[in-house]
Amino acid sequence: MRRAPTMAFVAAFALLLPLTHGDLLAQNPVQVTESTILEAHGLVGSHMVLQRGVKLTIPGKTAPHATVKADFAGSTATAKADRHGRFTVVLPPQTAGGPHDLILSIPGEPPIIYEDILIGDVWVCSGQSNMQWAVRQADHAAAEIAAADHPRIRHFTVARNPSADRVQPDVSGQWQPVRPDTIADFSAVGYYFGRAVHRETGVPIGLIDNAWGGMPAEAYSSRESLLANADLAHMIHQSDQALADYPRQLKAYQQKLAQRNANALKPARNFNKTKNWQSADFDDAKWKKMKLPSTWEARGQQWDGSVWFRKTVNVPAGWAGKPLTLSLGPIDDFDTTFFNGTKVGATGAETPNSWSVPRVYTVPGELVKPGNSTIAVRVFDGASGGGIHGQPAQMTLKIKGETTTQPINLAGQWSYRPESVTAPINARPPLGPKNPRAPAALYQGMTVALGDLPITGVIWYQGEANAGRAHQYRTLFPLMIKDWRKLWGNDRMPFFFVQLANFRAPQTDPNERSEWPELREAQTMTLSLPNTGQAVIIDVGAAHDIHPRDKQTVGHRLALIARAKHYGEKIVYAGPMYKAMKRQGNRVTLTFDHVGSGLVTKGDALKGFAVAGDDRVFHWASAKINADHTVTVWSDAVAQPVAVRYGWANNPAVTLYNKEGLPACPFRTDDWPMVTRGNK
């Protein structure tokens, strides 16, 4: 963005209401700051992608009743701001292409110029941690980052701003073209999806990352829809009660915290230089070991105060004299970090939400010697958690500015020793309006404002946080999708989602009672909504990792759905889906949709099928593929089978595919009560 030389500021402005959203925002005015003369919506910026084929809406805020002019791609339009300073300029539809400049102006003030804007398709990438999971954390990260040169794919990450008590008027973030220096921290699933679509269509692609790890679907749903549903309204009622009591709880917590900090934690807050624990020469052989990343409370150490961590790494000879980037992930709460005895960074109370901010420090080249080097981190925690607690992929040491050299992995065993600690206070911070897990908190804080600009559709990867409430998810997930479609004014807006991957110990018992297959079933049921699609990834998970690293396959399968259902390609986009069963004696023949060019076994035999009789006890079944693309299953232990299940476990053995390489969707033919029924 470029702004012409500054002229005199407007003397005063009226209160600004949030941008559009009608009655949702009528109760939430925001104050104009002195720098607000003309400001576009937070999604509008240089390098952005605007949605092709629809009227282009450019919202923003300015002086009350000012006339705003927009020039873009040979078209000009004007709009008059209302008494609150809100405006929306509407430009005519455009075909895919660009780049163009967008010029916004009001009389008597310098224009704002947004550069390098493309016209294409915009997709919102949302959900929880598996959608948030970054390219640098996924498989083949170094090669993928180095090859990320796609100037006509642009990405935008929505800044986190949960709001349980009100709708927020805007979002913040920055559009960036896909390059090696921009893509590492972006959603891997989002990027691989957008790349696949762009390669096949040639259309510029805009990707908006609106994902947050650990978040349940109700956080992305509207307050109004939850309240209107008899089975879900209790979520809002409970949240409202908690918010009403929040000021009292917060005051009590702050008083207790202040008293404790003033006494027991005063020495722990101040760095003690007399111990010399930061020195590279200090002998920490008698210190205990802790596997990081992790909070120390999660490792059984119930402390508040200051704790030291040390690790020795072997620096390659070729790194000598070069500045390094030391990444440690988030640290709860504050830290002072040393490299070979010299302080290289610190994060303290001056940093908002310091406990969640990833630490990235530069190690000057003069400190970098070949051979053993020591990293020492003094951590101070005031309450709850404590320690270096992010993801393993966030803990690295590498040459600054390079993407091709393999970084040193710092996750694993560190030596540690408490310096000055006390037992934690018997309280945790109360959850207030910034609780991201609260119902409607992410919808109101980070999603509603996205609806001010048109998009193509949504890709979604979420469900782990709702796995214990699968029966409820049958109602909640479709309700949420309808909320989003209403927000963008399109009841057939593409909404393509990922079914939960396989996870936890491999299945050995055909009668396993577990939550994840029920959640997958609830996801599959959501396909009854029009223009939805489900990417089945029951074959790419990891038994001991809820975040499978193969995000390329996930993005590819989502892209197949989009190419078929939105872009109109005649391709196979789904694996076999159960359709019907026919019983003859002790054998059951199953028919499927989406068989593609035929059914195949991946592996030495068909596995994952189980059958049960009237006693509802399942037995492993033999299975074979027939010439007519059906599957027959049977068990000698079940004379009169009445139900068949396939892939019905947290981590099942599954080998049924179509010839196009897409796995069959897990299913059951029965509707017997399951382990999570009720879900209140």
Residues facing 361 on adjacent strands: 326
Mean pLDDT over 545-550 rounds to 94
Range 350-371 burial, b when 16+ CB lie within 10 A, else e = eeeebbeeebebebeeebbeee
In a shared domain, residues 205 and 336: no
| pLDDT band at 254; cut points 50, 70, 90 | confident
Asked whether 345 and 397 are in contact (CB, 8 A), the reply is: no
Alpha-carbon distance of 398 to 142, in angstroms, equals 12
In a shared domain, residues 184 and 318: no
Range 529-566 burial, b when 16+ CB lie within 10 A, else e = eebbbbbbbbbbbeeeeebbbbbbbbbbbbbbbbbbbb
Residue 5: predicted pLDDT: 39
Mean pLDDT score of the chain, rounded to an integer? 92
**Is 255 within the bounds of a domain?**
no
Write the CATH number for 156.
Answer: 2.60.40.10
**Is 545 within the bounds of a domain?**
no
Q: Helix, strand, or coil here: 449? A: helix
Pairing of β 49-51 and β 112-127: parallel
Alpha-carbon distance of 237 to 235, in angstroms, equals 6
In a shared domain, residues 276 and 354: yes
Asked whether 297 and 423 are in contact (CB, 8 A), the reply is: no
Alpha-carbon distance of 280 to 78, in angstroms, equals 65
| pLDDT band at 496; cut points 50, 70, 90 | very high
| pLDDT band at 4; cut points 50, 70, 90 | very low
Tell me which residue of 140, 122, 138, 142 sits closest to 130, measured CA to CA.
Answer: 138
- CA torsion sign, 594 to 596 to 600 to 603? negative
**Residue range of the domain that includes 341:** 266-422
Residue 2: predicted pLDDT: 59
Backbone angles phi, psi at 179, to 5 degrees: -145, 165
End-to-end, the C-alpha distance of the chain in Å comes to 49
**Is 498 within the bounds of a domain?**
no
All residues at 6 or more sequence positions from 414 whose CB lies less than 8 Å from its CB, including other chains: 289, 290, 291, 292, 309, 310, 311, 388
**Is 482 within the bounds of a domain?**
no
- pLDDT higher than threshold 90 for residue 35: no
Residue 20: predicted pLDDT: 34
In a shared domain, residues 99 and 194: yes
Residue 403: predicted pLDDT: 74
- pLDDT higher than threshold 90 for residue 383: no
Write the CATH number for 633.
Answer: 2.40.10
Residue 677: predicted pLDDT: 53
In a shared domain, residues 277 and 205: no
- CA torsion sign, 136 to 138 to 142 to 145? negative
| Across 37-41, 97-101, 575-579, least confident range | 37-41
- pLDDT higher than threshold 70 for residue 21: no
- pLDDT higher than threshold 50 for residue 255: yes
Q: What is the dihedral of CA 257, 260, 264, 269, to 10 degrees?
A: 30
Alpha-carbon distance of 321 to 324, in angstroms, equals 9
- pLDDT higher than threshold 50 for residue 330: yes
- pLDDT higher than threshold 50 for residue 269: yes
Alpha-carbon distance of 672 to 661, in angstroms, equals 31
pLDDT tens-digit series, residues 437-466: 999 999 999 999 999 999 999 999 999 999
In a shared domain, residues 37 and 162: yes
Read off the tokens for 388: 């270096």
Write the CATH number for 357.
Answer: 2.60.120.260
143 CB-contact burial (10 Å; exposed 0-12 / middle 13-18 / buried 19+): exposed
**Is 311 within the bounds of a domain?**
yes
Tell me which residue of 515, 483, 494, 422 sits closest to 225, measured CA to CA.
Answer: 483
The CB density around residue 251, as the number of other CB atoms within 10 Å, is: 11
**Is 553 within the bounds of a domain?**
no
In a shared domain, residues 183 and 69: yes
Mean pLDDT over 377-384 rounds to 90
**Is 468 within the bounds of a domain?**
no
In a shared domain, residues 170 and 316: no
In a shared domain, residues 184 and 278: no
Residue 33: predicted pLDDT: 32
Alpha-carbon distance of 631 to 85, in angstroms, equals 64
**Is 453 within the bounds of a domain?**
no
Q: Which of 422, 453, 477 is the last residue of a domain?
A: 422
- Whether cis (ω within 30° of 0) applies to the bond prior to 293 is yes
Q: Which of 370, 394, 422 is the last residue of a domain?
A: 422
In a shared domain, residues 186 and 293: no
In a shared domain, residues 281 and 385: yes
Share of the chain above pLDDT 90, in %: 83
- Please tell me the pTM assigned to this model: 0.81
Q: How many domains does the chain have?
A: 3
Q: Which of 422, 455, 476 is the last residue of a domain?
A: 422
- CA torsion sign, 209 to 210 to 213 to 216? negative
In a shared domain, residues 17 and 148: yes
